[in-house]
Amino acid sequence: MQQGNFGADLWEILDGGETIIYRRAGTAEERRIEGAFRRPAKASASTSADPRCAADLFWHVPTQPGWYPSPGDHIISSEGRRWTVLKAELLAGQNRWRLTTRDLAAAYGLRRHLTVETLLPYKRPDGTPAGRWQVWKSGIRAAVQRWEAHPAKNHRPSYERRYRIVLEECPPTDTRLRLRTPSGKILTVLSVQPPSRADELTAVEAVELD
C-alpha cells in the first residue's frame, strides 16, 4: 500500500490552504499555486535580536515538476501581501517546500508611495540631444528619511535637501532617475544601491531643490 505524507494530508483535511501567486525574481515569470499553507516563524536567540524578523513567515508550498523556488523570489498571498523568499527547504516526503519568507515592506517600515521616472534621451529635428521624463513605475512603497539640508552650490538663492530612501522595487541603474511624490514634489536621484541579499531592499540617495 502506498504511504502518503500524513502531515501534509492532515493539513489538507483541516485547512484547504490558499492560492498564491509565485513570482520569479528579476523576471516576468509567475505561476498560480494552490494548496499553500502559512505557518508562524519560530523565534530564536539570533532572530529575536533583529526586529525585522517579526515580519517573517513560513510558507509550505506543494512541489511542482521542474519548479525550484529560490531566495529573492516573491509570494503574493491571497490578500495581496508580498513575501520575499529568504530560504527554500524541501520537506521530508518530497512533496512540499518550506519557504522562509519576510514581508520586507513591513520589516523596513515602507509607509510612503513614490513614482520612479527615467530620462528617455532623443534628438530634436535639428539633431541636438534632448530628453524627456517617463514613468517607470508608480505607487512604489518607500521609506523616506531626511539626511541633511544646506544651501545649494549655485548663484541662485535656493536650498538643497538630501534624503535617504528605501524602495521596495529596484529601478534601472543605467539611466538618470528622479522620484515624484504624490504631492508632485520632485527628488533627483544621486545614487542607487541595489540589494546584495534577499533580505535587503534598494537604497537611494536623492536631493530636492527649492
* pLDDT digit string, tens, across residues 65-112: 999 999 999 999 999 999 999 999 999 877 899 999 999 999 999 999
pLDDT digits (tens, 9 = 90+) for 104-121: 999 999 999 999 999 999
Cα separations in angstroms, 203 against 3, 116, 134, 190: 50, 13, 21, 11
pLDDT at position 147, please?
Answer: 74
pLDDT at position 4, please?
Answer: 41
The letter for the amino acid at 173 is T
pLDDT at position 46, please?
Answer: 46
pLDDT at position 26, please?
Answer: 84
pLDDT at position 8, please?
Answer: 45
Q: 61 - beta bridge partners?
A: 97
For the cut 50, the answer to whether the pLDDT of residue 201 exceeds it is yes
Name the pLDDT band for 45 (thresholds 50, 70, 90).
very low
Name the pLDDT band for 204 (thresholds 50, 70, 90).
very high
Is 75 in contact with 56 (CB distance < 8 Å)? no
Fold of 6-107: Thrombin, subunit H (2.40.10)
Q: What dihedral do alpha carbons 42, 45, 47, 49 form, nearest 10°? A: 130
Tell me the pTM: 0.79
Sequence ranges of the domains in the chain: 6-107, 112-209
The letter for the amino acid at 209 is L
pLDDT at position 160, please?
Answer: 77
CA atoms of 63 and 71, how far apart (whole Å):
16
pLDDT at position 1, please?
Answer: 36
For the cut 60, the answer to whether the pLDDT of residue 9 exceeds it is no
pLDDT at position 141, please?
Answer: 97
Q: Mean pLDDT across the stretch 115-130?
A: 93
Cα separations in angstroms, 184 against 80, 160, 164, 170: 27, 17, 18, 21
Q: 116 - beta bridge partners?
A: 137, 179
pLDDT digits (tens, 9 = 90+) for 131-189: 999 999 999 999 999 876 665 565 554 567 899 999 999 999 999 999 999 999 999 99
Question: What's the CATH number for 112-209?
Answer: 2.40.10.270
C-alpha cell at 131: 530628453
